[in-house]
Structure 1
Amino acid sequence: MDYKEAGVDIEAGRDFVTQIRQDVQSTYRAEVLSGLGGFGGCFELPAGYQQPVLVSGTDGVGTKLKIAQELSHHDTVGIDLVAMCVNDILTSGAEPLFFLDYLATGKLEPQELAQVVKGVAEGCRLSGCALLGGETAEMPGFYQLGEYDIAGFCVGVVEKSQLLDCSQVEIGDVAIGLASAGVHSNGFSLVRKIVSSGGFSWSDTPEVLAGKTLGEELLTPTKIYVRSVLDALKQGITIHGMAHITGGGLPENLPRCLSPNQSIEVNFDSWDILPIFRWLAEAGEVSQNAMLETFNLGIGFVVIVSSEQADTTKKWFESQGIAAYEIGKVTEGDGSLVLN
């Protein structure tokens, strides 16, 4: 017997590394000190920081991967993976520096998984961070043939004096909601339940989706807000707090950037609910509360600014091609979200 007979193909692993090399190297920043293939990735801290604070985050893509695998559409879930991590650390005001990925599968299919890494590299380019390293695990008997899972790990940096930690948010501040690209990467267990229970197919084209199939719409990658938010800070917009709207929706995530004595009042009618969410609510007979607690409903990221800077902030993000809405304000309270 040898390793290949046990289900692990070393040659396929070498072929995979060869296929992804160019995509990985396309993400390198000047601070990268090591190449692909080492035991560890080396990265030099950028110059100019007086008290640099490193901010880290990790996440996955969840059962959205099941749709990608059923449709053999693998080149966007890597963007999702990066987005889930870099948008998280962005809420501290951090610039993403480098990213690591972990990919596990039952049988390594180099061309298929190279498409996944291609998406990871694209996400890194969109957020300005280097794909510094990763791990690919072939695990026969643990994953079924055709199945894979991915996880990501990101490190960023922010000047200590500019670190956002909830203490900067003030009563009277305004919440500016930035539009999502769709469902992003949360709530897909419910999405898949709605589709399977209702007898729908990923190739169905509901009228509200204007010709797009359910599969195409649902595999739209998570929007990466890094460059537009960091550029807003460079333009002199003072952001007091930020929230990445992921699992738990606005009710769970928006209060995470508040102090204990604060709440936030949100006007549910202040932004456009995307058609895919209307379809999911109707097809699955999902209540408004359940929709709010599961999905982003069209708001993927929120920045908290003073009322004086609200209009300027909205115009800035709109100039970057991101729809922005004044969705609420900070009030005295108990750290909760109040829906109006």
Structure 2
Amino acid sequence: MNKSRINYKSSGVNIDEGQKFIEDIKSLTKKRSLKNALGNIGSFSGYIKPPKKYKDPVFALACDGVGTKISLALKQKNLSSIGIDLVAMCVNDLIVSGATPLTFLDYYGVSKLNRSKGKEIITGILKGCDQAGCELIGGETAEMPNHYTKDNFDLVGFAMGINERKNIIDGSKVKKNNAILALPSSGFHSNGYSLINKIINSKKTDRRLQKKLLTPTKIYVNEVLELTKKLKINGMAHITGGGLEENLSRINPSYTMIIDRDKCKLKGIFLEIMKLGNISRNEMYKVFNCGIGFCLILDREDIEKAKKINSKLFEIGYVSKTEKKFIFTN
């Protein structure tokens, strides 16, 4: 009796297609000038040489993902911006301590590999790396049939940065009466999309709104590092899931972050989603960045100097000392 043979491809994993995708990535990256990376895409690991200017170098590491913003991207059949989101969510965390991003890696997990979609994602990642000044040195593509449902997939990033040990910004220099300044976000960034998806799936929404919700996360690397070079920054926060309260409270738990809500009013896309989903104002501030993507804490006498360096900065509050970690006024 002849028994039909089974192989890896019949189980849903196409090794040949995976190898071709690696060649796609090599093709997308081969024209790029790699300043610090050693080796090529496709090796078992990537190497990086630290820039010589550092006397006592320390490395900073960060990991994050795009989350359920992927669902909206799939609904819109537009994967061009989520690669930028992926890089942004990682490098924006790195610069909170003053680190300069050096390298990036990605993990792309799918049920069935589609090289066209994969190239669209990788192209976005490379755009994000360009904005952040870092290099894509490798990653992992995993084809797992029936593990991810339908066309769904997962996208995770890993970033490494470098800093002088003595220049690490860890919030320890934050003190009473310091000013809290903010940089605007480009939208919802890549947080809270489980709630956003629930709203747009249950309400009638137009393509305009959904397209706007795919605006990529702003990358703050150049703006923030310019400020750290020219000013004494006491603490910083990347405003992600949990909004202002959760992220500002992490800077230095010994102090209270007091925010004037009138200086960070809900408007634009945030107000639109709030009304569409009948979300309370408190819930909006608890879940989303609500228009503020990054915060810096500095001495009050440096406020005007900071604003001259970056005119987008605006004051939203100050540091105090109470039993609470965070207070909203107004």
TM interval, shorter chain, is: over 0.9
Query: Residue 233 of structure 1 corresponds to which residue in structure 2?
Result: 228
- Cα deviations by residue, 1:225-267 (Å, 9 ceiling, x for unpaired): 0011112223x22111110000000010011112x33111101
Quick check: 1:265–1:329 contact (8 Å CA) kept in 2? yes
Query: Residue 317 of structure 1 corresponds to which residue in structure 2?
Result: 310
> Any residues of structure 2 matched to 1:269-308 within 5 Å, and which?
269-271=262-264, 273-308=266-301
Flag the 1:335–1:164 CA change in 2: closer, same or farther, 3 A: farther
Unpaired runs of 5+ in structure 1? 204-212
Quick check: 1:83–1:123 contact (8 Å CA) kept in 2? yes
Flag the 1:98–1:28 CA change in 2: closer, same or farther, 3 A: farther
2:221 corresponds to 1:223? no
Aligned residue among 254, 260, 265 for 2:258: 265
Query: Residue 207 of structure 1 corresponds to which residue in structure 2?
Result: none
Distance (whole Å) between structure 2 residues aligned to residue 216 and residue 30 of structure 1: 35
Flag the 1:119–1:127 CA change in 2: closer, same or farther, 3 A: same
Query: Residue 201 of structure 1 corresponds to which residue in structure 2?
Result: 205
Unpaired runs of 5+ in structure 2? 1-5
Flag the 1:123–1:334 CA change in 2: closer, same or farther, 3 A: farther
Distance (whole Å) between structure 1 residues aligned to residue 92 and residue 206 of structure 2: 28
Please, what is the CA RMSD of the aligned residues? 1.4
- Cα deviations by residue, 1:95-134 (Å, 9 ceiling, x for unpaired): 0111110000011000111111111111111001111110
Q: CA deviation at 1:22?
A: 3.6
Query: Residue 162 of structure 1 corresponds to which residue in structure 2?
Result: 167
Distance (whole Å) between structure 1 residues aligned to residue 227 and residue 272 of structure 2: 34
Distance (whole Å) between structure 1 residues aligned to residue 110 and residue 150 of structure 2: 8
Quick check: 1:27–1:121 contact (8 Å CA) kept in 2? no
Quick check: 2:62–2:94 contact (8 Å CA) kept in 1? yes
Flag the 1:113–1:242 CA change in 2: closer, same or farther, 3 A: same
Query: Residue 208 of structure 1 corresponds to which residue in structure 2?
Result: none
Distance (whole Å) between structure 2 residues aligned to residue 28 and residue 293 of structure 1: 42
Distance (whole Å) between structure 1 residues aligned to residue 324 and residue 59 of structure 2: 27
Query: Residue 321 of structure 2 corresponds to which residue in structure 1?
Result: 332
Flag the 1:26–1:119 CA change in 2: closer, same or farther, 3 A: farther
- TM-score with structure 1 setting the length: 0.92
Residue 127 of structure 2 aligns to a residue whose secondary structure is: helix
Aligned residue among 8, 12, 20 for 2:13: 8
Distance (whole Å) between structure 2 residues aligned to residue 160 and residue 72 of structure 1: 44
Q: Which moved more, 1:151-160 or 1:4-13?
A: 4-13
- TM-score with structure 2 setting the length: 0.95
Q: CA deviation at 1:28?
A: 5.0
Give the paired residue count: 324
2:35 corresponds to 1:30? yes
- Look up the equivalent residue of 1:115 and give its one-letter code: E
Query: Residue 87 of structure 2 corresponds to which residue in structure 1?
Result: 82
Aligned residue among 174, 180, 191 for 1:186: 191
Quick check: 1:78–1:116 contact (8 Å CA) kept in 2? yes
Quick check: 1:28–1:131 contact (8 Å CA) kept in 2? no
